[in-house]
Amino acid sequence: MSIAAADQTQHDPSSKGIGVETLGVTKRFGSLVALDDVSIKVRPGSFHALLGENGAGKSTLVKCIMGVYRPTNGQIMVDGREAVIPNPRAAHALGLGMVYQHFTLVPSLTAAENLVISRANVPGIVNWSREHADLEAFLETTPFKVPLDIPVNGLSAGEKQKLEILKQLYLNQRFLILDEPTSVLTPDEADEILGLLKGLTDSGELTILMITHKFREVTGYADDVTVLRGGQMVGSGAVADLSVEDMSHMMIGDTKLREAAARAETSVPALVVELSGLNADDDEGLPALSDINLKVHAGEVVGIAGVSGNGQSELVEVLSGQRDRSAGQIKVYGANYEPVREKMDRFKVFGLSEEPLHNVAVPSMTVAENIAFRSFDKSPIASLWGWLHPAKMRSQARGLITAYRVKTPSTEEQIENLSGGNVQRAVLARELSGDVDILIVANPCFGLDFASVAEIRAQIMEQRNQGAAVLLIAEDLDEILELADTVAVMLEGEIAYTSPIGDTDRRAIGHAMAGAH
């Protein structure tokens, strides 16, 4: 017997966590088999982790559960019965909800308004007095609390994430898929939210399926784990019965991980980059950076930590020439520096940006063309008369693809068709293939599997060991702790805290990120 979606309803306090099972789910896109006979079982009231490298099929699987895709073959069972889920609305009506990696709230509306408009049955004229009373009563049934009358753009990242989860509970979704739910949170916020969710699953009120790359979250909060590799289910079990090494082997098989580069000792380093009184505005003309003072020496990684939205993106844009500064100076080796192509070449400034397909790569161009962006106007690719030599461009790309282990069908594949980790490797190949004196990297491992993370972090450390001055902007505190020699915390556009990495710890940095210092 199958069940179809009923009308979506709002919060029902008597509801309990529901179970979901996929039976032999296969999803094909033309000749590409994204999922191959995948069967997983998420028990009612459990906290279930879904692991896998980029391109393993995790996103495709949850999109099949949520009705974004229709499986080519196989069944989806909800509470023990086959479910017909033709679209996300049908999934919601069955009690299935998803909290995405990026916030889906309306920034200018209050928390209360975001909750009310999320319903399918919003009346034409809203009785806000009654709605507020109902929302206050609803919050009394949940472990989450957020201020209802503050616009979302005035909430902290942790409060926004709580509101995203509250929205699903308010809509009576009792099976929640969480996609990297802690990627924009401080360590304390992450532990608080995962701990509260764990309490809801332990009491049987909720079922969680969480996509994550952080083994610390899996071992700390999950009951069960399923691992996908190459579109197939390759392992599952109780987290208590599995070690991190067991889960790692399921994810990558016999592939050998890149070993982390040892941190080399440096002598008295030269000052390479100095930011003095740097100010800049955001896209609305409001202050985004306020009197940023920072020094980066040769053979040093300065890691900038902070919750997303505290000026890190604007700082990277100023340093890469994508945003004008309103005041202040940038000096390289004591000389005034402007981030234009000629000076980037002269001072050997290279970079790796987050979401490279949106920032530093052209999706519709080939891998070879993207790799050539820094060298297309130089020999041997360019002739004395300015003509390009495509054969030499492809030859250079083949060498770098091999050296940086970029998985691509050919040099002529459009870069948008590569997995996230391989796009990052291709950009790394472009940016690190020559002599590097200054390296500016922003969230270089965001959303990547741990094999790609190990590769990229090792490359960054090697550049540091070879004498490069590295400015690392990262929302992942583990990345800061692993790579940085000095840590600085950005808060509301200012440097709020600095310390040698050996004189601080996760808690101190996390408190500074939350404004507690």
Residue 256: per-residue pLDDT: 65
- pLDDT, tens only, 395-412: 999 999 988 888 899 999
Q: How far is CA 484 from the centre of its chain?
A: 19
8 A C-beta contact, residue 193 and residue 162? yes
Quick one: CA dihedral 501, 507, 512, 516, positive or negative? Answer: negative
Residue 261 has pLDDT above 90, yes or no: no
Residue 309 has pLDDT above 90, yes or no: no
Q: Estimate the crossing angle of helix 187-202 against helix 506-513, to 10 degrees.
A: 100
Pick the CATH number of 2-105+172-252 from 3.40.50.300, 3.40.190.10, 3.90.105.10, 3.40.50.800: 3.40.50.300
Q: Both tokens of residue 478?
A: 């583990």
Q: Which CATH class, in words, describes the domain spanning 270-348+436-443+468-517?
A: alpha beta
Angle at 312 between CA 306 and CA 318, to 5 degrees: 160
8 A C-beta contact, residue 18 and residue 79? yes
Q: Both tokens of residue 136?
A: 């206050």
pTM to 2 decimal places: 0.71
Residue 258: per-residue pLDDT: 63
8 A C-beta contact, residue 301 and residue 460? yes
Q: Both tokens of residue 414?
A: 């459009």
Model confidence at 260, pLDDT cuts 50, 70, 90, reads: low
Q: Hey, do 2-105+172-252 and 270-348+436-443+468-517 end up sharing a CATH topology, with the first three levels equal?
A: yes
Other beta carbons less than 10 A from residue 379's beta carbon: 10
Other beta carbons less than 10 A from residue 467's beta carbon: 18
CA distance 104 to 481: 30
- pLDDT, tens only, 19-75: 999 999 999 998 889 999 999 999 999 999 999 887 789 999 999 999 999 999 999
8 A C-beta contact, residue 209 and residue 48? yes
Whether omega for the bond prior to residue 380 falls within 30 degrees of 0, making it cis, is yes
Model confidence at 467, pLDDT cuts 50, 70, 90, reads: very high
> What is the DSSP code string of 54-78?
TTSSHHHHHHHHTTSS--SEEEEEE
Q: Domain residue spans in the chain?
A: 2-105+172-252, 270-348+436-443+468-517, 355-434
- Dihedrals phi, psi of 6, to nearest 5 degrees: -100, 180
